[in-house]
Structure 1
Amino acid sequence: MSYSERPIQAPIPDPTTEPFWEAATEGRLMVGLCRDTGRHFFPPRGVSPFTLSPNVDLVAASGRGTLYSYTVMRTKQPYIPAMVELAEGPRIFTNLVDVAPEKVRIGMELRVAFQATEGGPPVPMFAPA
């Protein structure tokens, strides 16, 4: 069974995360941008993790990244949790899809691949670029 066949729990958007999930529905990955430092962060939120200032924006990310770390969960329905470093700098904890565990390598180029959920917005995961 591939990961795309695994049921994915739908996220529950709140007023802070609603714009992120709306963009995900449109196939766009968003990150936070601290206007004081010019640095990107994830997950997006109402204050900068660098300055604690509310001078932040939600901006589109390229959807590209490299594999920073991973493990293979060899369960009845195997999956690959991973830490991906986005091209913009922040790291995102996610899952890898569309790749066999033996093909996974640290540093491999990845692209966002939104996965459908039951009754909610799609969730960003990553696949080989």
Structure 2
Amino acid sequence: MTADADVYGFGGHMGIVVDRLHEGEAELSLQLEDHHRNFFGMVHGGVLLTLLDQSCGAALRSTRPARSPQGSVTIHLQSVFVAPARGDRIVARGRCLRLGRSIAQCTAAVEDAEGRLAATATGTFKLLG
């Protein structure tokens, strides 16, 4: 786990929590509130997409030494919404597939409280610093 394991900025504002970071893998969770849901009472797609992006970024950060630059920006993120997320908590698991000198590829999946797949993503990230 890197020294900077907390979620900050927009992800922190949403309530995303880092549950686990280890050698290119991350698990993040979100306790769902009413403001995370859309008009139909389902988790808003933007919430799922943010969690996918954040879990990819966290997985990427876990590959880098604690004292090295930790930053990255999303260049491309392709998502697939599989099913509505149900329950009061969702979990995202991200994995860094490839870490190059300046570019990384990561993947992530979000499951609902029942363990059902809600969304997946594959992304490309530019390393900063």
TM above 0.5: no
Report the TM-score range of the alignment, normalised by the length of the smaller protein: under 0.3
Q: Which has the higher strand share?
A: 2
Q: Give the TM-score, by structure 2 length.
A: 0.27
TM-score (norm 1): 0.27
Give the greater-gyration-radius structure (CA).
1
